[in-house]
Amino acid sequence: MTRKFSVFLVLAVIAAFMGYAAWKVLLAPSDLPPEGFARGNGRIEADLIDVSARLPGRVKTINVREGDMVKPGDVLAIMDTAELEAQRMRSLAAVASAQAAVAVAEAGVSQAEAKLALAQSEVKRSEELNRKGVVSQEALDIKRTEAQLSEAGLDAAKAGVEAQKRAVDAEKAALQQIETQIADSTLYSPAVGRVLYRLAQPDEVVGSGGKVLTLVSLEDVYMEFFLPATAAARLQIGDGARIVVDVMPDVSIPAVVSFVAPQAQFTPKQVETLAERESLMFRIRVRIPPELVQNRIERVKTGVRGVAWVRLSGPDGLPDWPEGLTPPLMGELPDPATGGTGN
């Protein structure tokens, strides 16, 4: 009896354990958000900007290192322009030569105008003498023909001037192209950001479009996550949101819904509940206001994981944010390194 009782007791314990496990998985209430709210896991992200050389060439200098903060207009790198400078000098000489050719052509116009004026004067004189019978009709016709030739020569000289002016324009365009290439050899920062990768070193040769640096743009900092269709349909662009990052669980960062995918897609791997795995999901993006990012620009880190919260519209509008999701003032966000507040 004792042995049978022990076996029965062991079986009862196993059955109780399995029953508890089944209840925990299938029946126990999960950690769902409150009514009128939805949330999703994600990480702080920002757009990456590749700073590339427009033309093939040698890297002359790089003025930044990985991790440096940059702002728009900062000179990040300079490509070697010795060959372009030589082409520029040659193009300057070509422009000067074309301008001199214009001066010669204009002198030819003046000469043709004087020749035409003389020919027209001789025609008038010959016509007068022809009326008096001193000059024959044949001689008068010759003078008139010479005047016509002089007029045609003037037209040709003027056309030559226009052709030379167009040649000047062509040489100036070639010069401008070279100067543009020289200007493009200085690589500037297009946005406020941080240097993520330094992909080339001074004296290295890169091809056309070769990447020199990669920046993390901090002008658009956001978190992307996924919601089921039932929740995504109740969101609108511009709705308020909150972000709680893992490294600061007691801080709620204000954000704004900036994107709701127009098409559904399959559930991403990070969604763990059975109900969500059975439905299609919509990609949602919430953006942290730029002024808040600028206020803490030195502390902004991409890749930090956290949770994004959004409110879902209902018959009574949007619910109020519960305690714990009311964000502090922008200047009162804690410093992750010290725990104190920033200015």
Query: 31-45+220-332 adopts what CATH topology?
Result: Elongation Factor Tu (Ef-tu); domain 3 (2.40.30)
What is the pLDDT, as a whole number, of residue 31? 54
pTM above 0.75, yes or no: no
What is the pLDDT, as a whole number, of residue 214? 96
- Residue 86's DSSP bridge partners are none
Residue 27's alpha-carbon distances to 21, 163, 273, 274, 276, in angstroms, are 10, 89, 13, 12, 16
> What's the CATH code, domain 51-81+186-211?
2.40.50.100
Angle between helices 82-132 and 137-184 (to 10 degrees): 170
What is the pLDDT, as a whole number, of residue 274? 55
Q: Which of 184, 181, 242, 229 is nearest to 34 (CA)?
A: 242
Amino acid at 33: P
Tokens of 288: 């942290």
pLDDT in tens, the chain (343 residues): 455 555 555 555 565 555 544 434 333 344 556 778 888 999 999 999 999 999 999 999 999 999 999 999 999 999 999 999 999 999 999 999 999 999 999 999 899 888 888 888 888 888 888 888 888 888 878 888 888 988 898 899 889 999 999 999 999 999 999 999 999 999 999 999 999 999 999 999 999 999 999 999 998 999 999 988 888 888 989 998 999 888 888 888 899 999 999 887 765 555 555 555 556 788 999 999 988 888 888 788 888 999 999 998 877 777 888 776 654 433 344 444 444 443 3
The answer for residues whose C-beta is within 8 angstroms of residue 212's C-beta and 6 or more apart is 51, 52, 53, 59, 62, 76, 77, 187, 198, 199, 200, 206
Cα–Cα distance, 192 to 185 (Å, whole number) = 21
Q: Where are the alpha helices (DSSP H) in 133-195?
A: 137-184
